[in-house]
Amino acid sequence: MFFHTLLTGIGCGTFFHDFTNNLIHWDSRSQKILGTTKFALSPEEWFNIIHQDDRDFITSFMQKELAKKNPHINIVYRVFKNDDDVCHVKADTFVKYIDGVPISTYGLLQDITEIKQQEEELLRKNEELMTAYCQLKEILAEVEFLKKKEKENVYRATVFSAQHILNNLLNQLLLIKLKISKHPSVIVEISDKFDAMFFEASQLLEKLSSVENVDEEEIRNSIRSPK
């Protein structure tokens, strides 16, 4: 009684295939899973219940397994239940052989439709996830591109601003230089230092403005004094 209750609880039925009379016997639970009211089905009747897309696979698979004299065969296939309703079933089959010849099979038949639907939903979600992942990679690549361009733009703007400030400062100091140069007390060394300082600053900005790839190492290399 407990065994029957357990089978009912997990959606399982039992079957027995006697090769002598070539009939497959199904208990009430298996009949319900298959959508039939017949206690015994011929292999042809059982085959007609199977989804047409699975028939060739089942024939080929069972022939190979029996040829290998496999005592335990698991197979999943679809059956038509109430004409339009498709049910996924799993047959856990044990085969009895005598002198290498299959005599009978018996086993459990389980309705795994809900499990299959969950698997299919999981596959769909996985495909959606992969699509989203690919889209995210494209977006991230675009963001990285924009980020790089933004960094370059900020860098170029900074260099340009520095050049502008330096030029203004240079012009102002040149005017001062002109004024003080009129005084004989001005030391020539100070004037030369002014010239050297602005030449070096101008050279530095020119190097910075010629940087192609805005990264720390290249900027450092561009302003490094040649040995």
Average pLDDT of the residues in 74-92: 87
- How many other C-beta atoms lie within 10 A of the C-beta of residue 161? 10
Is the per-residue pLDDT at 34 higher than 70?
yes
Residue with tokens 């009912």: 8
pLDDT score for 186: 47
pLDDT score for 202: 62
pLDDT-derived band at 115 (thresholds 50, 70, 90) equals: confident
Look at 83 and 77; give whichever has higher pLDDT: 77
pLDDT tens digits along 153-164:
666 666 666 666
The model carries a pTM of 0.55
Average pLDDT of the residues in 21-38: 91
CATH topology of domain 2-111: Beta-Lactamase (3.30.450)
pLDDT-derived band at 227 (thresholds 50, 70, 90) equals: very low
Question: Are 71 and 93 in contact, with CB atoms under 8 Å apart?
Answer: no
